[in-house]
Chain A
Amino acid sequence: MAMRGENWRFWLPVFLLAILFFYSGQKLVRSHVDSDVTAPNYYFDEEIPARRGSIYSAYGVNYPLVKSVPCWEYHFDPVALTNAIAARTVRRKGEPVRTRDAVLKTIADALKAEKSAITFERIKKMADNVSNRYQFLALSSDPDMHRTLADSSLVAGVAIRDRQVRQYLNGRSLSHVLGSLNAEMVGSAGIELKYNKLLSGTSGTVRGMRDAFRRELYDKRIISIDPKPGSDIYLTIEPNVQFWTENALKAGLREYGAATGWAIVMDAETGAIYAMASYPDFDPVNYGKTTDAQKMNRAIAFNYEPGSVMKVITAAAAIDSNPKRFGPGTRYNTSRQDPAYYKLPGDAGHLWEPTMTLKDAIVHSSNIVMGKVAYDLGPFTVYKYMQRFGFGEKTGIELPGEQFGILPNPHKRMWDKASWSRAGIGQFVAVTAIQLISAYQSIANNGMRMKPYIVDRIVGPDGEETYKRNPEKAGMTVSAETARTLRNMMLDVASPAGTARRAAIRGYSIAGKTGTAQKQIPGGKGYYNGLYRASFCGIVPASDPKLVILTTLDFEERTKFHQGGNSAGPVFKRIALAAIRYLGIQPDKPEELEDQDEDEFDKMLEERTRMHAGG
């Protein structure tokens, strides 16, 4: 019995010994397996960058515009090369040890794949510069090049770092819309800036331990948070229409000698942007080297006096506000010396009949008649309708840097007599191109102005749609009847009788208006003599509007092409021909196409092919 009472004296030390044995035994073995595992410097914290979201065109996931692509950054260390050559380690099995020159030649040959400027001679010089142990070689995603440069039996002294680069698949195309990233991979312009947070995603974190060879001990992970990739953004941009818009604009700038230019193609019913181009453009990969003039997206961020394209707005205000008094047939005296009106800029080079209808004033772009109409409307009516058409306020397009335009308020500051009559012919007020096309869109859409938009939808990393843009109404500008009347009035502008006969397209009716705006001297010191900004804004087809297209060429030298119909009109036509073809827009005057085997777009393509083959 005495023994039974003393059992604890036996079991207690056995139990303690067992714990000690178990613990120390495990420790002993583990410490042998993972030597130095407890050393604090083997703890690590690593941030795992999230994949930046892609930007897609209207064609969807198969046609990306911008993507993040994994690539390798190569640096050259001449000291490491010297050491490897001295240690005779650069050799393939069964082959002799490679010489320094052979290694350098292999590196130079591999770099040729990336069209690198680093030649054999250049890399030899780099190898002599032992004071710099981190010399940049290339940034490439070419797997063949990586295979060569990562092969330690072929080359030495090349340090490789994994990187993600932003690839703009269309190069400079659409640069103002897409924008760019800075060196810290933060958006610095365009969609990249506007949606930087959504595109960036959230970085992940790993906290754990490494062994003596810097390999992670997976069972020692303390924290592991996966990165959350950025969302993908789908734009309304039609890549082919965008390509032809840029192509036509570039050709126009070259052909007519304009310094800058911009063009927008918009859906007439929804306000969706199919194409937006602005020149000069920039290379998104080298945004740091871009000048301010290149950075400006003139389609949304440039205020300018639009000139005669505003006459349509004046006519809209007149017909809509007082349909009994104003109509396409309303006649006005064409005399400039009319004591009842403020003296307006003349209609240079024209000898009009003593009177002219409102429709003819649009077709022939009469400053005198439209100035008189605006004068009769008065400042408050002109201002009210300009506001309705969206001038003086941002359209809200999803791009950074949009300007308000300049529309002085007559309720706050009295307009003088010159002001509102000049506003009627596109002077005194400043607009942005996106405001102007939006105003024309409302005429195309029977008076309903839609908010312009360029982002169609946003899709989260899990594939779920987080945002879908539906067309939004901005408000009625004029009645549907007035809009139809205006379109009819504009029909003859792109006809032999009008100011833009070179904008006419066989098979399609075009309702448009030219603009030849004098350029202002900065500081309100009047206008430059002989310097103009030529515009054309058109609706295609006029009977059942599908597209609104605006083109503007800005001249910095005197030229015979300064009139809207002579330069912006043909650019409009080239853009419209391509857009009609790619968007499948049916002709509304098919009888004009009956005897033609080819339409003008086909001819344009053939001409290009022929010219290219010949040149």
Chain B
Amino acid sequence: MRKNRKIPKRMSVLTRTTARFGAIIGILFVMVIINILATSSCQQILKSIGQRERELAKLEDSLNREETRWETMKTPEKIDSALLRHGLAMRPPRAEQNVSMKADGTPYLGQHSVAQARKRSGLKTAKYNGRIR
């Protein structure tokens, strides 16, 4: 005797097709939404990068302008006219006030002559009164 097996009830073709189609449409819809969100987010990021690039360029420009303004103020001509304007007789150090040595510690030629002159004049120590004797 054959076993009384339960035969599964088959879905109609229409139902099955609609369900599959609906599932696919749903998946596609979700994908489209994800795509749109991702694109929009990318655009936001790009926009913000663009803004920051513009801000950076503006800051660089303003730094350049400010640096140039300072550099213009310290040209020899500007410094000289400022000194004259304020009646200041400032002067750069004289050669003998600069100590220039070679890497091995020996003085340059001119330093020898200054030292020799100092020796001749009997002064063994440097006395600062505007110049080294």
Contact surface of A with B, Cβ cutoff 8 Å: 3, 10, 14, 18, 21-22, 25-26, 29-30, 33, 62-64, 67, 69-71, 141, 143, 167, 169-171, 173, 216-219, 239-240, 242-244, 247, 544, 580-582, 584-591, 593-594, 597-599, 601-602, 605-606, 608-609, 612-613
Contact = CB atoms under 8 A, between A and B. Distances in A.
**Residue in B74, B93, B110 with the greatest tally of chain A CB atoms within 10 Å:** B110
Interface in B1-60: 13, 17, 20-21, 24-25, 28, 31-32, 35-36, 39-40, 42-43, 46-47, 49-50
A597 B65 contact: no
A609 B113 contact: no
B104 to A, nearest CB: 18
A326 B66 CA distance: 63
Contact of B95 (A26, A71, A247, A587): A587
Contacts of B77: 170-171, 173, 243
Interface residues of B, number: 58
A311 to B, nearest CB: 29
8 smallest A-B Cβ distances: which pairs? A586-B110, A590-B117, A243-B76, A218-B46, A70-B61, A609-B89, A612-B84, A25-B32
A143 B66 CA distance: 9
B64 interface: yes
A609 B84 contact: yes
Contact of A141 (B32, B65, B93): B65
Nearest to B27: A18
B125 interface: no
17 contacts: A10-B20, A21-B32, A29-B32, A33-B43, A62-B71, A70-B64, A141-B68, A173-B75, A217-B43, A219-B43, A243-B80, A587-B110, A590-B114, A590-B116, A594-B121, A597-B129, A601-B91
A605 B110 contact: no
A591 B120 CA distance: 9
Contacts of A590: 96, 113-114, 116-117
B67 to A, nearest CB: 8
Contact of B117 (A169, A173, A544, A594): A594
A612 B87 contact: yes
Secondary structure at the A interface, as helix, strand, loop or mixed, is: helix
A544 B84 contact: no
Interface string B89-110: 1011111101010000000111
Contacts of B108: 586
Contact of B28 (A21, A584, A585): A21
B113 A30 contact: no
B100 A584 contact: yes
Given A63-B71, A581-B92, A598-B130, A30 B39 contact: yes
Contacts of A242: 76
A33 B40 contact: yes
Contacts of B46: 218-219
Contacts of B39: 30, 219
Nearest to A71: B65
Given A598-B130, A609-B83, A70 B71 contact: no
Contacts of A240: 76, 92
A366 B117 CA distance: 37
Given A18-B24, A587-B95, A609-B89, A69 B65 contact: yes
A81 to B, nearest CB: 26
A239 B75 contact: yes
Contacts of B31: 22
A217 B46 CA distance: 8
A612 B84 CA distance: 6
Contacts of A612: 84, 87
A605 B108 CA distance: 28
Given A69-B64, A243-B76, A586 B109 contact: yes
B88 interface: yes
Contact of A22 (B20, B32, B116, B129): B32
Contacts of B88: 609
A114 to B, nearest CB: 13
Contact of A580 (B32, B95, B109, B114): B95
Given A21-B28, A141-B68, A216-B50, 7 more contacts: A10-B20, A170-B76, A219-B46, A243-B77, A247-B80, A585-B110, A609-B89
Nearest to B108: A586
Nearest to A589: B113
Contacts of B117: 590-591, 593-594
A64 B74 CA distance: 10
B94 A69 contact: no
A509 to B, nearest CB: 11
A143 B92 contact: no
B94 A599 contact: yes
Given A30-B39, A594-B117, A585 B95 contact: yes
Contacts of B131: 593, 597
Query: Which of A69, A586, A613 is most buried by chain B, counting CB atoms within 10 A of its CB?
Result: A586
Nearest to B49: A218
A584 B98 contact: yes
Contacts of B76: 170, 239-240, 242-244
Contacts of A143: 62, 65
A609 B90 CA distance: 9
Contacts of B32: 21-22, 25-26, 29
A606 B89 CA distance: 6
A71 B66 CA distance: 12
Contacts of B114: 586-587, 590
